[in-house]
Chain A
Amino acid sequence: MAQKVHSRKANSVVQIDAHGVFYRELNGRLRDIVSNGTRKIELRNVYGQRYIGTDLHKVVEIEIFGTPGNDLGSFMDGPRIIVHGNAQDGCGNTMNNGEIIVHGHAGDTVGLSARGGKIFIREDVGYRAGIHMKEYGDKKPVLVIGGTAQDFLGEYMAGGILILLGLNLKQGERHKANYIGTGMHGGVIYVRGDIDGYQLGKEVGVAELGEEDVQTLGRFVSEFAAHFGYDAGELLKHKFTKLFPLWLRPYGRLYAY
């Protein structure tokens, strides 16, 4: 078991070499370290270990070098995770609070049913990103995607803010996702770049940005830019489209009583 724990007292960063460590053991170790009061952890050589960041319930920073496995930060409540690599499927699954910053791509269902917290993905995401995100009062999840997304982006959205920047699209290249916002009945999606009507779900409306939208967008795009070294002003110069739910009850007329 190649596991080393270095405790550097100066800045109290705990380093763990995750090479060959099973996820249950790794996460158990994280639980112990965090309950002992450590607030900054570096995970080196992460190769697919699942559920990192689950069940920690503390404001703790976890920096991951490598490729964390599925369900990164699922049910997460508090931690801040920075990934130097790609995230897999289910990143931020049913997350309640905290932050996930991925310097790379993420797989399918990023932010599935998220209830709060923020997720920033520098590059592309897979299918059904932001599906069924929710919100209540001031608890409002935010998902910012630097690249582009696959189909069913924001499906069933019931709340939260989803921003798609398309920064890696070439000149004249468009987002290719279809069925964007299918079943959407809450929340908002901002897309940088053009989107055609046929790419949207039937339940989605298109609007120009209002003053409040510009403020919201400015705030989270600036955070994104700060994480990944972009110029927020430049990013925001581009035209954005706002997507919103047309109806509170998209399927309300489906039934005979």
Chain B
Amino acid sequence: MKTYLPPKFFVDRDPSRCIQCQVCVNQCTFDTHYYDAEDDEVRSREENCVGCHRCVLFCPTHALTIRSNPLDYRENYNWRPEVIEDIIKQAETGGVLLTGMGNDKGYRIYWDHLVLNASQVTNPSIDPLREPMELATYLGRKPDRVEIDQNSPSLKTELAPQVKIEVPVMFAAMSYGAVSINVHQSLARAATEAGTLWNTGEGGLHPKLYQYGNNTIVQVASGRFGVHAEYLDAAMVIEIKIGQGAKPGIGGHLPGEKVSADISMTRMIPKGTDALSPAPQHDIYSIEDLAQLVYALKEATNYTKPIAVKIAAVHNSAAIASGMVRAGADIIVLDGLRGATGAAPKIIRDNVGIPIEMALASVDTRLREEGIRNQASIVISGGIRNSGDVAKAIALGADAVYIGTAALVALGCTLCQQCHTGKCAWGICTTDLALTKRVNPEIGARRLVNLLRGWSLELKDILGGMGINAVESLRGNRLHLRGVGLTDTELEILGIKMAGG
């Protein structure tokens, strides 16, 4: 069948610069560039280009420019090129449209409508360069009150397990299988160096990464891949994954192309099969059942570590979160509408779930109203782009955030959204051993640590500007936020005032 799909991108090769070195041919994993031996010339098959810009970055003479195909159909706001092309794809394949990364649609990004406060005249701002500034955060259940032994200055109250992170930014769950071993290693090393946590995702933990256990969150999801006593014991936190922002309510199929020999080993499934994560966890059909798994994991680790429960942000998140806390979750994780994925049906990614800002505000409010906010830490994820977003999230009520996409961008990702193909030219979202080498764990870890250092410095600047010297004082402190360009309803849900008010 002749495809009616036009190329997404045009490849402009400047003949005066191109030296026929074929770096582009070797770097492209989508067979866009090829060498025509007969004419002794490097050429392009533009229909294959995904716009990842790997070739552009590696071309030694800057001979390549990748441009969007203008696709100047007759103007139609309703029937945009993306809509037309999706229909063409389905007419030609009869399948579910698959995609990678997070929702790329124009839903309102509330972070961009929130502004932060600063001290002027009536209280002094603090200069973080010269004064102590605390970003350390403790995750885990906090007691309703503490009792102190008056004779010896020590705590009488027995505390639930707490995990300290030096900066309230952690690396989000990305499974081994979705991303490469070198990405896992980069994240693990960076988390260790920066004093934060990384998350294995649901594909188990490669034996050589157990050494980073003190900075590891292990995930238990519906597929139960790689879950065993040693795995649970290795971690600082165990996270039960109920849902994911990119695909709330549905399971996951890691395509067989990515199930290599090593993935087969860690997941205990046949090589080349699709790794199937059922939509529900079949031992959890209710809050009571969730409690059963939470306590199964607490029993399995003798109550030594916090248990997190991750859900996608959906309409009734606040009520669900209340149930989760009552089911024994020590940390609740909310993944919003813009949360990313290694593979999800496009129609789900782009249409299901709610913005994380709204979910966070409503969950924090609800738990406070019920007097149980102290019983669980709140971690959010799904579209955190910079330290400004982090500060706003904390002011809205989060204890910490997860970053996934931002971390991958630090490693080279350009959001070409081809994660599901397993062909990632940047060597990130692939299990192809040759491609995996494109991420050097040492350099990868350095880039990630640098990112966290930059954000930490900025967070301290933000806090200092507000006259606050500890991130704890910002948590849930919504008076430090004002809204810009928001309706009364939006302001009410976010629990903030309009700018000027």
- Chain A interface (Cβ within 8 Å of chain B)? 23-24, 27-28, 31, 50-51, 54-55, 57, 70-71, 74-75, 77, 89-90, 93-94, 96, 109, 112-113, 115, 128, 131-132, 134-137, 139, 155-156, 158-159, 183, 185-186, 248-257
Contacts and interface: CB of A to CB of B under 8 A. Distances in A.
- Main SS class of interface, A: loop
Given A51-B300, A256-B89, 14 more contacts: A27-B299, A54-B299, A75-B297, A93-B283, A113-B224, A128-B282, A136-B264, A136-B265, A158-B276, A159-B270, A185-B273, A252-B256, A255-B95, A256-B90
B214 interface: no
A183 B278 CA distance: 10
A94 B224 contact: yes
A255 B96 contact: yes
B297 to A, nearest CB: 8
Contacts, number: 143
Nearest to A160: B268
B76 interface: no
A71 B295 CA distance: 10
Interface in B62-101: 89-90, 92-98
19 contacts: A24-B299, A50-B299, A51-B299, A54-B299, A55-B302, A71-B296, A74-B299, A75-B297, A132-B282, A134-B269, A183-B276, A248-B272, A248-B273, A254-B253, A255-B97, A255-B255, A256-B92, A256-B93, A256-B98
B278 A96 contact: no
Given A75-B232, A94-B227, A89 B283 contact: yes
A8 B35 CA distance: 81
B305 interface: no
Q: Which residue, of A93, A156, A249, has the highest number of chain B Cβ atoms within 10 A?
A: A249
B365 to A, nearest CB: 32
Contact of B274 (A54, A112, A251): A251
A78 B108 CA distance: 53
B292 A75 contact: no
Q: Which size bracket describes the interface of B in this complex?
A: 35 or more
A159 B224 CA distance: 13
- Main SS class of interface, B: mixed
Contacts of A251: 253, 274, 276
B267 interface: yes
B67 to A, nearest CB: 23
B15 to A, nearest CB: 33
